[in-house]
A and B are shown apart, each in its own frame.
Chain A
Amino acid sequence: MKKLSINFLLVGILAIGLQSCFRSVSRVDPDKEIDISGSWNDVDSKLTADAMVEQVLGDIWLKNHMMATKEKPVVIVGFVKNKSHEHIDAETFMKDIERAFVTSQKVRLVQGGEKREAVRGERADQQDNASVSTMKKWGLEVGADYMMQGSINSIVDALDRKKVVYYQIDLELTNIQTNEIVWIGDKKIKKMVKN
């Protein structure tokens, strides 16, 4: 009896010791919806991107611009302000929107921020190092017609083990010449989290 209990104890210790050795990792489809904590995740980002792409490319502002200028609008992406309760990087859905602009060929996109600075740095470098025939000139960049800016807001309502989280993502296009807002798109996401 005593020997049996010692054996059980040994098996128990071995089991606890071995459980930390097992870890499973598997690849899943990026489109598969997986919610673990209830926080902002890839599914929310994708839903936002899909909704925004549909709205921005299907709205009347595009038609109005084409009718007025006979040219495709040129857009630059400004900042997105995250005023929610979570750390959210808007780049995940903003890049999807930018990609849609480029692939749809309906909107032209120009670089801004740090990347534009890097491009200008390269151009400056070419003035000293590239051959005259391939050297790029200053002052020939395409000026943007519109700037896209946005904000992320959230409202949290929690009691005991239940929590309702509401996210509102707003994007808008402003005419750089006239300061007129020509398009506002939004995506609202509401989540019920039970712990």
Chain B
Amino acid sequence: MKTIGYIASGLIMMSSISAIAQDADQNPNWRNSAEKYATQASDLTATESTTIQDTYEAYDWREAKAEEKQERQDRRYNLKTMRIQSRYNYNRPYQYGHYNQNNWNNGCGNNGWNNGFGNNGWNNNGWNNGYYGNGYNNGFNNFGYWGKPNYTNLLIGAGLGVGLYYLLH
């Protein structure tokens, strides 16, 4: 039924195109173009009254520097955690391996503690991304603690603080 509908609409479109009279100076092959664009009309008009975003990234010296600094910090932090982790892994079997090899080492050392805390929880998902990328640093910066403080507000706060102190004493 749907196919019949498509065929019928196509036939109507074709007949309407051929019904248009040809002008004296008109290209005799105009029907080829009309048929070609009649099927694409809705796609070609979809961007009307819109802004197509085709932006590029401009090199900003300050942003690049800040990015490099962040990368350096991340690298240093990762090295530090890896060092701590390797020390932990080295010491663990020596301390507990002999005494409780099956329970502690497999349960806590490899699956529970190390993966949960060291690899998945602490380093990759929880601490590292949270701290540097999304959670801690950005959250903190946005609320103005690590950015430039508002000195006027600081002074007002100090004044209120002194006032409160003298009122209470």
Specify which chain B residues have a CB less than 8 angstroms from the CB of A12 in the assembled complex: 158, 161
Partner of B48, one of A112, A158, A159: A112
Is B149 in the interface zone, CB < 8 Å from A?
yes
> B157 near A83 (CB under 8 angstroms)?
no
Is B56 in the interface zone, CB < 8 Å from A?
yes
- Interface of chain A residues 75 through 89 with chain B (CB within 8 A): 76-89
Q: Given contacts A10-B161, A11-B165, are A22 and B51 in contact (CB under 8 A)? A: no
Is B153 in the interface zone, CB < 8 Å from A?
yes
A91 → chain B closest CB, angstroms: 6
* A120 and B48 alpha carbons, distance in the complex (Å): 15
> B150 near A22 (CB under 8 angstroms)?
yes
Specify which chain A residues have a CB less than 8 angstroms from the CB of B48 in the assembled complex: 76-79, 112-113, 116
Q: Size of chain A's interface in residues, with CB distance under 8 A?
A: 42
> B62 near A115 (CB under 8 angstroms)?
no
What's the A-B contact tally at a CB cutoff of 8 Å? Answer: 112
Q: Given contacts A11-B165, A82-B52, A116-B48, are A19 and B58 in contact (CB under 8 A)? A: no
Is B50 in the interface zone, CB < 8 Å from A?
yes
Is B144 in the interface zone, CB < 8 Å from A?
yes
Partner of B153, one of A19, A77, A90: A19
* A45 and B39 alpha carbons, distance in the complex (Å): 36
- Interface of chain B residues 136 through 151 with chain A (CB within 8 A): 143-144, 149-150
Partner of B54, one of A18, A83, A114, A158: A83
Specify which chain A residues have a CB less than 8 angstroms from the CB of B54 in the assembled complex: 81-83
Specify which chain B residues have a CB less than 8 angstroms from the CB of A87 in the assembled complex: 53, 55
A92 → chain B closest CB, angstroms: 10
Q: Given contacts A10-B161, A11-B165, are A83 and B56 in contact (CB under 8 A)? A: yes
Is A16 in the interface zone, CB < 8 Å from B?
yes
> Which A residue sits closest to B42, measured CB to CB?
A117
* 15 contacting pairs across A/B (C-beta < 8 A): A7-B165, A11-B165, A14-B160, A15-B154, A19-B150, A19-B153, A22-B150, A78-B47, A81-B52, A82-B55, A85-B57, A112-B45, A154-B58, A156-B59, A158-B60
Q: A83-B56, A85-B57 are in contact. List 19 more A-B contacts (CB 8 A).
A: A11-B161, A11-B162, A15-B158, A15-B161, A17-B157, A18-B156, A19-B144, A78-B48, A79-B47, A79-B48, A79-B49, A80-B51, A81-B54, A85-B56, A112-B49, A113-B46, A113-B47, A115-B49, A158-B61
* Residues on A facing B (Cβ under 8 Å): 7, 10-12, 14-20, 22, 76-91, 94, 112-116, 154, 156, 158-161, 163, 195
